[in-house]
Amino acid sequence: MRCYTLPQENPLYGKTLAEVKEVFADQIIWERLKIHMIFVAHPTHAEKEPAVLGVVQDLVHRAAEEQGHDYCDVRVGLLHNVIAVFTQAHAEDEATCSNIQHHLYEALALTADSEATTAAAGVAAVGAPAGVAAATAATTS
């Protein structure tokens, strides 16, 4: 089956699914979608979220090195901070489409603040490998 639903000027027009997959096989998804923020959470244990955060930050850093790109504009934050910020914004009747990005940046700031506090106290991320904990601490300074 070929892609004929796309406009003819689209470079993917008329390509098979296998050909389309081949075109995108080596692309990092945030390059294609222009992702600037990634929010993470541990599925069952909130106390392990710093470790998850560190792992994702490490993965973004490693992807940047492997791809030879600068992904310093990709921020990683904790999902529970997003929920807290939007809950407060909703309570204050401020959750509108025009300021969603502002609230997401507030959530990232909360994550950075909690990381700085943890690093200053000398507490390593729970369950994080030493390299991840060090990478997490290094990104906050």
Q: What are the pLDDT digits (tens) for 36-50?
A: 889 899 889 989 988
Burial class, 30, CB count within 10 angstroms (exposed 0-12 / middle 13-18 / buried 19+) = middle
Mean pLDDT for the stretch of residues 14-21: 80
Using one digit for the tens of pLDDT, what is the confidence trace for 72-117? 888 898 988 888 888 887 777 765 656 777 878 888 888 887 776 6
Mean pLDDT for the stretch of residues 20-44: 76
* pTM greater than 0.75 (yes/no): no
Q: What is the Cα–Cα distance from 135 to 129, expressed in whole angstroms?
A: 10
Is residue 136's pLDDT more than 50? no
